[in-house]
Amino acid sequence: MSSKKLIIVGAGGLGREVHGWIKDWVVHHPDHVLTGFIDDGGISLNRFSHYADVISTVDAYEPKADEYLVCAIGKPSDKKYVIDKLIAKGAQFLTLIHPTAIVGENVTLGRGVLICPYSVLSVDLTVGDFVTVNTLCTISHDSHVGHFSTLSLHCDVTGGVILEDGVFMGSRASVLPKLRVGRGAVIGAGAVVIRDVLPGSTVVGVPARCIAQN
């Protein structure tokens, strides 16, 4: 049986991390093989010698039936822009869960989700399409993470929280139970959210306060 080819979208820092994590994943899925990156940067990997090659730009990529993409773009708006282009071409995306992550009962994951090492998705929760859950994050019961959102490492989404589409959480940010974070909001690194966050807001600090509103 021929192997399914995995291609990482994005050859920046997250993409390089995903390159290693896919190697861990392939150990348990030997019918898949990592073949390269899609990236518009051109020189992103020039200073390294141990990564797969950049095989295409976004615009030049032509999907094949045996190719599956893994998204490694952190910023939600950039992620959506690139993914929308690739989907319009007919690209297929893989949901990838690192072997060390824990995904509990009645957890619904969308298309193209990336669950990184040692993260925990507890029970009875939903994660939308193309969500990135970086290392050592916790998403607790009865919560929802909207499409294209990104949780940086060590984030804590507690019980009953709603993150609308396109939310970005910086490293070690936390959202207290049963709060809603509006579409496109940014939660700064280390912030502790104790009240609802309006769409398009940027909040920072402990407790989190709004410093910008789009």
Residues annotated as catalytic (active site), given as ranges: 141
Binding-site residues sit at 74
Residue 62 exposed, middle or buried by CB count within 10 Å (0-12, 13-18, 19+): exposed
In whole angstroms, what is the distance from residue 159 CA to residue 203 CA?
Answer: 20
Annotated binding-site positions for substrate: 74
Amino acid present at 69: L
